[in-house]
Amino acid sequence: MALATELGELFQQAIADFYLGWSDSHAQDPAEGLARMQRALADINGSSLTMRSL
């Protein structure tokens, strides 16, 4: 997540945030984890974020 943020990779940042939410929902706080996942999906679906080709 830190590297994606540093490089300005918004799509990768949203994907990382989704997986952090998934992890939180299983390990710590299910409600907060699900909320984080929903925010990440909203960021992806509500914008033109795409994965860059190398």
Give pLDDT tens digits for 1-52: 777 667 777 888 889 999 999 999 999 899 999 999 999 999 888 777 666 6
Matching residue, tokens 């952090």: 20
Please name the residue ranges forming H helices in 1-54: 2-7, 10-27, 30-45
| Cβ pair 32, 24 in contact under 8 A | yes
pTM: predicted TM-score of the whole model, two decimal places: 0.74
| Cβ pair 33, 25 in contact under 8 A | yes
| Cβ pair 14, 49 in contact under 8 A | yes
Q: In this predicted structure, what is the pLDDT of residue 52?
A: 61
Q: In this predicted structure, what is the pLDDT of residue 54?
A: 45
As a whole number of angstroms, the distance between CA 24 and CA 21 comes to: 5
Give domain limits for the chain.
2-45
Q: In this predicted structure, what is the pLDDT of residue 25?
A: 93
